[in-house]
Amino acid sequence: MPSRQLTETVYSQKLVFIVNPNASNKGSIKIWKKIERELAKNGKRYEVFFTERSGHAKELTEQILKQSLEETLICGVGGDGTIHEIMNGAAPFPHAIISSIPAGSGNDYARGLQKTTKVHKALSLILQGQSTSEVDLGCYTYQNNKHYFINSLGIGLDAEIANGVNKSRWKKWFNTFKAGKLIYLYFFFKKLFTFKPFELHTEIDGKTYIFKNTWFLVAVNQGYFGGGIKISPDSATNDGKLNIIVVREFKRFELLFMFATVFLGKHLKLKNVDSFLCERIFLRADSNVFIQADGEIVGNREITAEISPRMITIVAGVGENN
């Protein structure tokens, strides 16, 4: 796989922060106050906006980028849902550069693309102007409406887990004790015993496949999903391809073993784990299972996804999980 192309950059452009005040059980506000102090120390000029509802980060991003053609760095202070909205707002605008201060439960974007889950490291990427990278975006069409994803799109158990996490009253307690990733593990065990595998009809770059007793299919743009699970270790974010992982025909106790192998990077060698590289995929399930994009529920049962090569510019670190 080709490595990401990095470009040395000195940030003289417009700087805007979009803060999700509800992220990480409102812990994002504490993080923002620390950022404010560092920005003041560095004499950095910026604008800041706070989201008020679902979808507001996308609206703000569009409004900001429509104002001028000046190169604009938009930094989301929140989790993967916040970045998902910002990416959808920024996708049509070539003068956008995207960054993240990780302040959510999973932070898969920061881990997989930005290469840092530490707040001070993420902020230093902005203040020091280290590098940018042009990366692919996934594009999905659901009920004739077109949207984007940066991390992954999945149907089945992973989306059921995401739905449980997003609706759970326990989420704030996990975040309070800085154990946001553990809630994904909690819901994995919970859904493992209630989720019903399904039959999945797919077209992958025009070739038809039928997967029986499917637990989930995930179309991956970068390696991580579900709060730090490296489901696709070979993913590259600028290769113009989606990595497709299909998990099927496991018994429930066997699925536990499969996930244990994920942490060793051995799961792709298992008999009932299929992987593909493609540019376009169509999915149709035989039941109304959920579909997630970047951890947000975006529909059910049927969807089309494709890759949009090097469509967005991001701030990128160079070290794994710095």
Domain coordinates in residue numbering, the chain: 6-136, 141-307
Instruction: State residue 319's pLDDT score.
Output: 55
3-class secondary-structure state, position 117: coil
Q: Which residue has the higher pLDDT, 291 or 1?
A: 291
| Residue with the two structure tokens 């950059």 | 9
CATH of domain 6-136: 3.40.50.10330
Strand-pair category, 96-102 with 72-78: parallel
Average pLDDT of span 108-135: 89
Average pLDDT of span 188-215: 96
Q: What is the C-alpha to C-alpha distance for residues 166 and 170, in angstroms, rounded to an integer?
A: 10
Strand-pair category, 302-315 with 131-142: antiparallel
Which pTM was predicted? Answer: 0.89
**Residue 152 in contact with residue 218, Cβ under 8 Å?**
yes
3-class secondary-structure state, position 65: helix
**Residue 281 in contact with residue 208, Cβ under 8 Å?**
no
3-class secondary-structure state, position 243: strand
31-83: pLDDT as tens digits: 999 999 999 999 999 999 999 999 999 999 999 999 999 999 999 999 999 99
141-307 fold: Tumour Suppressor Smad4 (2.60.200)
Q: What is the C-alpha to C-alpha distance for residues 41 and 43, in angstroms, rounded to an integer?
A: 6
